[in-house]
DNA sequence: GCCAACGTTGGC
DNA sequence: GCCAACGTTGGC
């Protein structure tokens, strides 16, 4: 099973909102690299929910409940989306500062490519981040 | 609010 | 197919 990380600006779509909705379409991705990551997601894969711009922390874990399919909001037809559902909150949100302070996470795509909104998380990094988050 | 990183667009 | 100009993202 693969692991991932997706970003959301909390004033646009927050973790609270995600939990209230129960399930949502992860639409609006307009970047090929991010889109390729969405394509590689499989049913049941887990994914960190990260607050960008404000908060700057991993605050929750979601699960992929529907694999990649066309995004109706994309007129060009080039991009797709997945559906996700909240799985659990992270008891102690893992801040970007904490991630950057951890040498073992220096190669995490989140750190190396700050603009990529959907990125893979290697298994060992996933385990470490869960531990840092109190899970 | 600024700036760096980076993706996209369009002229040649 | 290259590259300059421009727009967007996201951290600080």
| Nearest alpha carbon to residue A23 among A68, A85, A65 | A85
Where helices occur in A10-122 by DSSP H, the ranges are 15-21, 32-40, 96-100, 109-112
Residue A78 pLDDT > 90 = no
Residue A74 pLDDT grade (very low, low, confident, very high; cuts 50, 70, 90): confident
Q: Which residues, in sequence order, are CB contacts of A72 under 8 Å at separation 6+?
A: A27
Q: Is the pLDDT of residue A76 over 90?
A: no
Q: Distance between CA A84 and CA A86 in Å, rounded?
A: 7
Chain center to CA of A64: 10
Res A93: pLDDT: 96
Contact, A77 CB vs strand B, < 7 Å: no
Q: How far, CA to CA in Å, does A83 sit from each of A15, A22, A46, A53, A63?
A: 15, 11, 12, 23, 9
Q: Which nucleotide across the nucleic acid strands is nearest to A31, CA versus C1'?
A: B7
* A117 CB inside 7 Å of strand C: yes
Query: Could you check: is the Cβ of residue A69 within 7 Å of any atom of nucleic acid strand B?
Result: no
User: Which among A121, A122, A36, A123 is positioned nearest to A82, based on CA atoms?
Assistant: A36
Taking residues A107-113, report their average pLDDT: 93
Q: For residue range A35-68, what is the model confidence (pLDDT) as tens digits?
A: 999 999 999 999 999 999 999 999 999 999 999 9
Quote the pLDDT of residue A98: 96
Q: How far is the CA of A91 from the C1' of C6 (A)?
A: 42
- Record the pTM: 0.94
Which chain B nucleotides are covered by protein, judged by CB under 7 A?
Answer: 5-8
Q: Straight-line distance from CA A67 to C1' C6, in Å?
A: 34
Q: In what order do the strands lie in the sheet with A57-70?
A: A24-26, A80-95, A57-70, A46-51, A3-8, A118-120
Minimum-distance residue to B8 (CA–C1'): A31
What is the rounded average pLDDT for all residues in chain A?
94
Say whether pLDDT at A73 is over 90.
Answer: no
The whole-number pLDDT of residue A107 equals 92
Query: How many helices (DSSP H) and strands (DSSP E) are in chain A?
Result: 5, 6
With cut-offs at 50, 70 and 90, classify the pLDDT of residue A77. confident
Q: What is the pLDDT of residue A122?
A: 95
CATH assignment of A3-132?
3.10.590.10
């Amino acid at each position: 099973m693969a692991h991932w990380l997706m970003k959301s600006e909390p004033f646009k779509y927050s973790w609270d909102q995600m939990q209230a909705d129960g399930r949502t379409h992860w639409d609006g991705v307009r970047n090929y690299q991010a889109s390729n990551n969405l394509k590689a997601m499989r049913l049941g894969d887990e994914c960190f929910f990260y607050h960008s711009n404000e908060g700057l922390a991993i605050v929750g874990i979601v699960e992929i409940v529907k694999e990649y399919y066309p995004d109706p909001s994309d007129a060009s037809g080039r991009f797709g989306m997945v559906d996700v559902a909240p799985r659990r909150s992270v008891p102690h949100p893992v801040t970007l500062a904490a991630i950057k302070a951890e040498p073992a996470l220096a190669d995490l795509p989140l750190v190396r490519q700050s603009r990529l909104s959907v990125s893979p998380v290697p298994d060992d990094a996933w385990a470490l981040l869960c531990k840092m988050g109190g899970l």
